[in-house]
């Protein structure tokens, strides 16, 4: 499996759930690099990722069912707010750190592998 394929689910979730609201709120990612991410941060990132995926799963059908663009936009905003709150509810994780770790994982095969291994372990439980 290539690096790009492994990171795809992580970054799709990041981009889909958090890119728009964080940009709209002018939230700057933390100063986190792949080499500074601790195991505790990987654990928190995975927990937040799973929370974001749950929000996305709840809202995506509703968004797709909306007949008009205004209704879709309103639900997307609501989903984005819920995703940010879900990340913020994870112990030792902020939306800024979440985005920074996701961006670092795009650049680092090692960090990507750590995240994917932890995600697989959590999902196997």
The pLDDT tens digits of the residues spanning 69-98 come to 888 888 888 888 898 899 999 999 998 898
Quickly state the pLDDT bin for 61 (edges 50, 70, 90).
confident
Distances (CA, A) of 34 to 30, 69, 81, 83: 12, 38, 27, 23
- pLDDT: which is higher, 39 or 106: 39
Quickly state the pLDDT bin for 64 (edges 50, 70, 90).
confident
User: What's the domain range around 13?
Assistant: 3-25+32-124
Domain count, the chain: 1
pLDDT digit string, tens, across residues 16-52: 444 444 444 445 667 888 899 999 999 999 999 999 8
The pLDDT value given to residue 27: 52
* Residues, the chain: 125
The pLDDT value given to residue 44: 96
- pLDDT: which is higher, 105 or 27: 105
The pLDDT value given to residue 56: 86
The pLDDT value given to residue 103: 86
């Amino acid at each position: 499996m290539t690096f790009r394929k492994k990171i795809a689910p992580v970054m799709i979730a990041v981009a889909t759930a958090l890119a728009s609201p964080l940009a709209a709120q002018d939230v700057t990612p933390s100063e986190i690099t792949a080499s500074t991410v601790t195991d505790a941060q990987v654990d928190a990132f995975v927990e937040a990722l799973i929370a974001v995926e749950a929000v996305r799963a709840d809202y995506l059908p509703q968004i797709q069912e909306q007949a008009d663009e205004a209704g879709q936009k309103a639900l997307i905003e609501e989903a984005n707010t819920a995703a940010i709150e879900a990340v913020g509810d994870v112990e030792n994780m902020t939306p800024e750190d979440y985005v920074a770790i996701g961006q670092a994982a795009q650049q680092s095969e090692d960090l990507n592998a750590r995240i994917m291994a932890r995600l697989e372990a959590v999902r196997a439980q």
